[in-house]
């Protein structure tokens, strides 16, 4: 048996409840190192610490009876766009129950859905304020 973690064995939990099987997940954690520039001088002057940001893109399988991100309260409808609520997200390997990525105080930034090879697959993007993976933790 292989020790590789495969996408079909990963599941997305939202606010502690199973939400969807994950076919792909791509957490991007930006380095806090930023280039500082001067006025009227094109080359960078130095690098310095700045904000640490992250965003997550996950491809999930939609299951029967799903009501979508709006129906689940993860994304406000157009008439309530300014009233979005934070959620927590966990990507877990089902075979080993290993948490691969955890996101706290998250907000959806975009979504798209497509029918492909008989499945309805969604791409969900979100940002958050705190995260944890298998080697680092940053929670406020």
Distance CA 108, CA 128 (A): 9
Q: Which residues contact 110 (CB under 8 A, 6 or more apart)?
A: 123, 124, 125
- Closest by alpha carbon to 129, among 137, 118, 121, 119? 137
> Domain spans of the chain?
7-27+56-138
Decide if pLDDT at 90 tops 90: yes
Global pTM exceeds 0.95: no
Helix (H) or strand (E) holding 61: strand 54-61
Task: Summarize pLDDT for 96-121 with one digit per residue, the tens.
Answer: 888 889 999 999 999 998 887 788 88
Chain centroid, CA 45 distance in Å:
33
Q: Is 14 helix (H, G, I), strand (E, B) or coil?
A: strand
- Closest by alpha carbon to 114, among 124, 106, 104? 124
Q: Which residues pair with 61 in a beta bridge?
A: 121
What is the CATH architecture assignment of 7-27+56-138? Beta Barrel (2.40)
Of the candidate ranges 3-17, 58-72, 100-114, the one whose mean pLDDT is the lowest = 3-17
Torsion of CA 22, 13, 99, 123, to 10 degrees: 30
């Amino acid at each position: 048996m292989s020790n590789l973690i495969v996408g079909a064995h990963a599941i997305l939990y939202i606010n502690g409840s199973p939400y969807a099987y994950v076919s792909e997940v791509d957490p991007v954690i930006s380095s806090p190192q930023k280039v500082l520039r001067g006025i009227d001088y094109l080359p960078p002057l130095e690098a310095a610490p700045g904000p640490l940001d992250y965003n997550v893109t996950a491809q999930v399988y939609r299951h029967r009876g799903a009501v979508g991100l709006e129906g689940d309260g993860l994304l406000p409808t157009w008439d309530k766009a300014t009233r979005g609520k934070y959620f927590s997200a966990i990507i877990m390997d089902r075979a080993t129950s290993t948490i691969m990525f955890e996101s706290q105080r998250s907000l959806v930034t975009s979504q798209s859905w497509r029918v492909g090879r008989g499945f309805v697959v969604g791409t969900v993007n979100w940002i958050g304020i705190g995260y944890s993976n298998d080697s680092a933790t940053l929670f406020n």
